[in-house]
Amino acid sequence: MNYRHAFHAGNFADVLKHAVLASVISYLQQKPGAIRVIESHAGGGLYDLGSLTAARTSEWRDGIGLLADPLDAKAEAVLTPFRDALSALRAGHGPNIYPGSPLICQQMLRADDRYIGAELHGETNWQLKTALNKDKRFKVLLMDGWQVLRANVPPKERRGVVLVDPAFEAADEWQVTAREVIAAWRKWQTGCFIVWYPLKNPRQADDLARDFRDADVVNAVRLELIVDDLAAAEKLAGCGLIVINPPWTLRDQAEALLPALALRLARSRKAGFRCEVIAG
Protein backbone atom coordinates (compact mmCIF):
# COMPACT_ATOMS: atom_id res chain seq x y z
CA MET A 1 0.00 0.00 0.00
CA ASN A 2 2.98 2.34 -0.42
CA TYR A 3 2.10 3.43 -3.95
CA ARG A 4 0.64 6.94 -4.27
CA HIS A 5 -0.45 7.88 -7.76
CA ALA A 6 -0.45 11.60 -6.95
CA PHE A 7 3.33 11.53 -7.48
CA HIS A 8 2.87 10.14 -11.00
CA ALA A 9 -0.39 11.66 -12.23
CA GLY A 10 -0.27 12.92 -15.79
CA ASN A 11 2.95 11.12 -16.68
CA PHE A 12 3.52 9.37 -20.00
CA ALA A 13 2.02 6.15 -18.64
CA ASP A 14 -1.22 7.93 -17.72
CA VAL A 15 -1.39 9.51 -21.16
CA LEU A 16 -1.22 6.13 -22.89
CA LYS A 17 -3.60 4.40 -20.50
CA HIS A 18 -6.21 7.15 -20.55
CA ALA A 19 -6.04 7.72 -24.30
CA VAL A 20 -6.74 4.03 -24.92
CA LEU A 21 -9.46 3.85 -22.26
CA ALA A 22 -11.25 6.90 -23.70
CA SER A 23 -10.97 5.49 -27.22
CA VAL A 24 -12.47 2.14 -26.12
CA ILE A 25 -15.37 3.83 -24.30
CA SER A 26 -16.04 6.05 -27.31
CA TYR A 27 -16.14 2.99 -29.56
CA LEU A 28 -18.50 1.07 -27.27
CA GLN A 29 -20.84 4.06 -27.15
CA GLN A 30 -21.40 3.89 -30.89
CA LYS A 31 -24.21 1.47 -29.99
CA PRO A 32 -27.11 2.70 -27.83
CA GLY A 33 -27.02 -0.13 -25.28
CA ALA A 34 -25.63 0.68 -21.83
CA ILE A 35 -22.05 -0.25 -20.93
CA ARG A 36 -20.31 -1.01 -17.66
CA VAL A 37 -16.80 0.06 -16.65
CA ILE A 38 -15.16 -2.09 -13.98
CA GLU A 39 -11.91 -0.88 -12.42
CA SER A 40 -9.80 -2.96 -10.05
CA HIS A 41 -7.48 -0.21 -8.73
CA ALA A 42 -9.32 3.09 -9.00
CA GLY A 43 -7.10 5.71 -7.33
CA GLY A 44 -8.03 9.16 -6.10
CA GLY A 45 -9.92 10.61 -9.04
CA LEU A 46 -8.51 14.13 -9.34
CA TYR A 47 -4.91 15.28 -8.97
CA ASP A 48 -3.56 18.81 -8.64
CA LEU A 49 -0.49 19.16 -10.81
CA GLY A 50 0.38 22.36 -8.97
CA SER A 51 0.53 20.64 -5.58
CA LEU A 52 3.67 19.98 -3.56
CA THR A 53 3.09 16.25 -4.04
CA ALA A 54 3.16 16.53 -7.82
CA ALA A 55 6.12 18.90 -7.62
CA ARG A 56 8.24 16.25 -5.87
CA THR A 57 8.54 14.32 -9.12
CA SER A 58 7.07 16.65 -11.77
CA GLU A 59 6.49 13.57 -13.93
CA TRP A 60 3.54 15.26 -15.58
CA ARG A 61 5.90 17.70 -17.28
CA ASP A 62 7.27 14.83 -19.39
CA GLY A 63 3.77 13.51 -20.02
CA ILE A 64 0.64 15.59 -20.41
CA GLY A 65 2.81 18.71 -20.08
CA LEU A 66 4.37 17.97 -23.48
CA LEU A 67 1.02 17.62 -25.23
CA ALA A 68 -0.06 21.26 -25.06
CA ASP A 69 0.72 21.49 -28.78
CA PRO A 70 -1.09 19.02 -31.04
CA LEU A 71 0.47 15.94 -32.55
CA ASP A 72 -0.04 15.05 -36.21
CA ALA A 73 -3.60 14.82 -37.50
CA LYS A 74 -3.94 11.02 -37.32
CA ALA A 75 -2.64 10.87 -33.76
CA GLU A 76 -4.88 13.75 -32.70
CA ALA A 77 -7.91 11.93 -34.11
CA VAL A 78 -7.14 9.07 -31.71
CA LEU A 79 -6.62 11.46 -28.80
CA THR A 80 -9.89 13.34 -29.37
CA PRO A 81 -12.05 11.49 -26.78
CA PHE A 82 -9.32 11.84 -24.14
CA ARG A 83 -8.62 15.49 -24.94
CA ASP A 84 -12.34 16.32 -24.90
CA ALA A 85 -12.79 14.71 -21.47
CA LEU A 86 -9.70 16.44 -20.09
CA SER A 87 -10.76 19.83 -21.41
CA ALA A 88 -14.24 19.50 -19.92
CA LEU A 89 -12.87 18.45 -16.54
CA ARG A 90 -10.37 21.29 -16.48
CA ALA A 91 -13.15 23.73 -17.36
CA GLY A 92 -14.98 22.60 -14.25
CA HIS A 93 -12.11 21.99 -11.82
CA GLY A 94 -9.29 24.27 -12.96
CA PRO A 95 -6.45 24.15 -15.50
CA ASN A 96 -3.97 22.39 -13.20
CA ILE A 97 -5.99 19.26 -12.52
CA TYR A 98 -5.34 15.88 -14.05
CA PRO A 99 -8.09 13.26 -13.83
CA GLY A 100 -7.75 9.65 -12.92
CA SER A 101 -9.62 7.11 -14.98
CA PRO A 102 -12.82 7.26 -12.84
CA LEU A 103 -13.21 10.97 -13.60
CA ILE A 104 -12.55 10.39 -17.30
CA CYS A 105 -15.30 7.79 -17.15
CA GLN A 106 -17.59 10.20 -15.31
CA GLN A 107 -17.14 12.75 -18.05
CA MET A 108 -17.78 10.21 -20.82
CA LEU A 109 -20.44 7.83 -19.52
CA ARG A 110 -24.05 8.30 -20.57
CA ALA A 111 -27.08 8.34 -18.29
CA ASP A 112 -27.61 4.56 -18.47
CA ASP A 113 -23.94 3.58 -18.33
CA ARG A 114 -22.49 2.43 -15.04
CA TYR A 115 -19.12 2.25 -13.27
CA ILE A 116 -17.95 0.11 -10.38
CA GLY A 117 -14.46 0.41 -8.97
CA ALA A 118 -12.35 -0.69 -6.04
CA GLU A 119 -10.00 1.44 -3.97
CA LEU A 120 -8.62 -0.26 -0.87
CA HIS A 121 -6.71 2.70 0.61
CA GLY A 122 -9.14 4.48 2.94
CA GLU A 123 -8.09 8.09 2.38
CA THR A 124 -7.81 7.60 -1.38
CA ASN A 125 -11.22 5.94 -1.45
CA TRP A 126 -12.71 8.98 0.32
CA GLN A 127 -10.97 11.34 -2.11
CA LEU A 128 -12.43 9.49 -5.07
CA LYS A 129 -15.96 9.48 -3.65
CA THR A 130 -15.64 13.20 -2.94
CA ALA A 131 -14.48 13.88 -6.50
CA LEU A 132 -17.39 11.89 -7.94
CA ASN A 133 -19.82 14.01 -5.89
CA LYS A 134 -22.47 11.34 -5.23
CA ASP A 135 -22.89 10.44 -8.90
CA LYS A 136 -25.48 7.65 -8.84
CA ARG A 137 -23.96 6.00 -11.91
CA PHE A 138 -20.83 5.27 -9.89
CA LYS A 139 -20.12 2.82 -7.09
CA VAL A 140 -16.74 2.88 -5.34
CA LEU A 141 -16.01 0.03 -2.94
CA LEU A 142 -13.49 -0.09 -0.10
CA MET A 143 -12.45 -3.60 -1.08
CA ASP A 144 -9.67 -5.59 -2.68
CA GLY A 145 -9.76 -4.98 -6.41
CA TRP A 146 -9.50 -8.63 -7.36
CA GLN A 147 -12.47 -9.45 -5.16
CA VAL A 148 -14.51 -6.74 -6.88
CA LEU A 149 -13.47 -8.05 -10.29
CA ARG A 150 -14.47 -11.61 -9.39
CA ALA A 151 -17.88 -10.48 -8.14
CA ASN A 152 -18.80 -8.21 -11.07
CA VAL A 153 -18.05 -10.10 -14.26
CA PRO A 154 -20.00 -10.57 -16.32
CA PRO A 155 -21.98 -7.38 -15.68
CA LYS A 156 -25.70 -7.30 -16.35
CA GLU A 157 -25.14 -4.90 -19.27
CA ARG A 158 -23.00 -7.58 -21.00
CA ARG A 159 -21.05 -4.81 -22.75
CA GLY A 160 -18.20 -2.80 -21.34
CA VAL A 161 -14.58 -2.65 -20.31
CA VAL A 162 -12.45 -3.78 -17.39
CA LEU A 163 -9.44 -1.64 -16.47
CA VAL A 164 -6.74 -3.39 -14.45
CA ASP A 165 -3.98 -1.09 -13.21
CA PRO A 166 -2.11 -2.57 -10.21
CA ALA A 167 0.86 -0.90 -8.55
CA PHE A 168 3.07 -3.94 -9.31
CA GLU A 169 4.81 -3.59 -5.94
CA ALA A 170 4.26 -7.12 -4.60
CA ALA A 171 6.69 -9.81 -5.74
CA ASP A 172 3.90 -11.99 -7.15
CA GLU A 173 1.76 -9.22 -8.66
CA TRP A 174 2.52 -10.18 -12.26
CA GLN A 175 1.39 -13.74 -11.64
CA VAL A 176 -1.68 -12.63 -9.69
CA THR A 177 -2.64 -10.20 -12.45
CA ALA A 178 -2.42 -12.90 -15.09
CA ARG A 179 -4.39 -15.38 -13.00
CA GLU A 180 -7.17 -12.96 -12.05
CA VAL A 181 -7.62 -11.46 -15.51
CA ILE A 182 -7.68 -14.88 -17.16
CA ALA A 183 -10.30 -16.07 -14.66
CA ALA A 184 -12.42 -12.97 -15.30
CA TRP A 185 -12.07 -13.32 -19.08
CA ARG A 186 -13.24 -16.93 -18.92
CA LYS A 187 -16.42 -15.69 -17.22
CA TRP A 188 -16.90 -12.83 -19.70
CA GLN A 189 -15.27 -13.72 -23.00
CA THR A 190 -16.91 -10.86 -24.90
CA GLY A 191 -15.74 -8.13 -22.50
CA CYS A 192 -12.87 -5.78 -23.26
CA PHE A 193 -10.03 -5.99 -20.74
CA ILE A 194 -7.28 -3.35 -20.54
CA VAL A 195 -4.30 -4.47 -18.46
CA TRP A 196 -1.64 -1.85 -17.71
CA TYR A 197 1.93 -2.79 -16.72
CA PRO A 198 5.27 -1.03 -16.13
CA LEU A 199 8.24 -1.85 -18.33
CA LYS A 200 11.16 -2.38 -15.99
CA ASN A 201 12.17 -5.93 -16.76
CA PRO A 202 10.81 -6.63 -20.28
CA ARG A 203 10.84 -10.37 -19.54
CA GLN A 204 7.96 -9.84 -17.11
CA ALA A 205 5.84 -8.35 -19.88
CA ASP A 206 6.79 -11.21 -22.19
CA ASP A 207 5.70 -13.68 -19.52
CA LEU A 208 2.39 -11.86 -19.07
CA ALA A 209 1.70 -11.99 -22.80
CA ARG A 210 2.62 -15.69 -22.86
CA ASP A 211 0.29 -16.39 -19.94
CA PHE A 212 -2.61 -14.96 -21.93
CA ARG A 213 -1.67 -16.96 -25.03
CA ASP A 214 -1.33 -20.15 -23.01
CA ALA A 215 -4.80 -19.54 -21.56
CA ASP A 216 -6.19 -19.54 -25.13
CA VAL A 217 -7.23 -15.90 -25.05
CA VAL A 218 -8.34 -15.53 -28.64
CA ASN A 219 -8.09 -11.81 -29.34
CA ALA A 220 -5.48 -9.55 -27.75
CA VAL A 221 -3.00 -6.83 -28.67
CA ARG A 222 0.12 -5.63 -26.88
CA LEU A 223 0.85 -1.91 -26.94
CA GLU A 224 3.99 -0.40 -25.43
CA LEU A 225 5.40 3.10 -25.14
CA ILE A 226 9.09 3.52 -24.31
CA VAL A 227 10.44 7.01 -23.58
CA ASP A 228 13.97 6.22 -22.40
CA ASP A 229 16.59 3.49 -22.16
CA LEU A 230 14.92 0.69 -20.22
CA ALA A 231 18.26 -0.62 -18.99
CA ALA A 232 19.71 2.66 -17.76
CA ALA A 233 16.85 4.96 -16.77
CA GLU A 234 16.57 5.86 -13.08
CA LYS A 235 12.78 6.26 -13.26
CA LEU A 236 10.07 4.46 -15.19
CA ALA A 237 11.03 4.48 -18.86
CA GLY A 238 8.25 2.49 -20.45
CA CYS A 239 4.84 0.97 -19.95
CA GLY A 240 2.44 -1.23 -21.79
CA LEU A 241 -1.14 -2.33 -22.20
CA ILE A 242 -2.49 -5.71 -23.11
CA VAL A 243 -5.99 -5.25 -24.48
CA ILE A 244 -8.18 -8.33 -24.74
CA ASN A 245 -11.12 -8.08 -27.15
CA PRO A 246 -10.04 -4.65 -28.40
CA PRO A 247 -12.27 -2.68 -30.75
CA TRP A 248 -11.41 -3.66 -34.30
CA THR A 249 -10.22 -0.07 -34.83
CA LEU A 250 -7.73 -0.06 -31.94
CA ARG A 251 -4.70 -1.54 -33.68
CA ASP A 252 -4.83 1.04 -36.48
CA GLN A 253 -5.35 3.77 -33.88
CA ALA A 254 -2.35 2.55 -31.89
CA GLU A 255 -0.19 2.47 -35.00
CA ALA A 256 -1.06 6.14 -35.53
CA LEU A 257 -0.73 7.23 -31.90
CA LEU A 258 2.27 5.33 -30.51
CA PRO A 259 4.95 6.65 -32.92
CA ALA A 260 3.75 10.22 -32.37
CA LEU A 261 3.80 9.82 -28.59
CA ALA A 262 7.22 8.17 -28.63
CA LEU A 263 8.62 11.06 -30.68
CA ARG A 264 7.03 13.80 -28.56
CA LEU A 265 7.64 12.24 -25.12
CA ALA A 266 11.11 10.81 -25.76
CA ARG A 267 13.70 11.40 -23.05
CA SER A 268 16.49 9.82 -25.08
CA ARG A 269 17.23 8.18 -28.41
CA LYS A 270 16.18 4.87 -26.89
CA ALA A 271 12.51 5.85 -27.11
CA GLY A 272 10.22 3.61 -29.12
CA PHE A 273 7.01 1.65 -29.20
CA ARG A 274 5.47 -1.75 -29.82
CA CYS A 275 2.15 -2.64 -31.41
CA GLU A 276 1.51 -6.31 -32.05
CA VAL A 277 -1.14 -8.97 -31.95
CA ILE A 278 -0.38 -11.54 -29.25
CA ALA A 279 -3.50 -13.65 -29.76
CA GLY A 280 -5.34 -13.63 -33.05
Q: What is the pLDDT along the chain (280 residues), one digit of tens a residue?
A: 445 677 899 999 999 999 999 999 999 999 999 999 999 999 999 999 999 888 888 999 999 999 999 999 999 999 999 999 999 999 999 999 999 999 999 999 999 999 999 999 999 999 999 999 999 999 999 999 999 999 999 999 999 999 999 999 899 999 999 999 999 999 999 999 999 999 999 899 999 999 999 999 989 999 999 999 999 888 899 999 999 999 999 999 999 999 999 999 999 999 999 999 998 7
- At 196 the three-state DSSP class reads strand
Buried b (16+ CB within 10 A) or exposed e, 61-70: ebbbbbbeee
Quick check: is 113 catalytic?
no
Please tell me which residue in 14, 113, 165, 211 is annotated as part of the active site.
Answer: 165
Could you tell me the domains of the chain? 5-279 (3.40.50.150)
Beta bridge partners of 117: 39, 140
User: Against a cut of 0.75, is the pTM above it?
Assistant: yes
Separation of alpha carbons 8 and 5, rounded Å: 5
Work out the angle at residue 252's Cα, subtended by the Cα atoms of residues 274 and 105, and round it to the nearest 5 degrees.
90
Of 222, 115, 110, 221, the closest CA to residue 160 belongs to 115
CA distance 201 to 231: 8
Rounded distance, CA 17 to CA 105, Å? 13
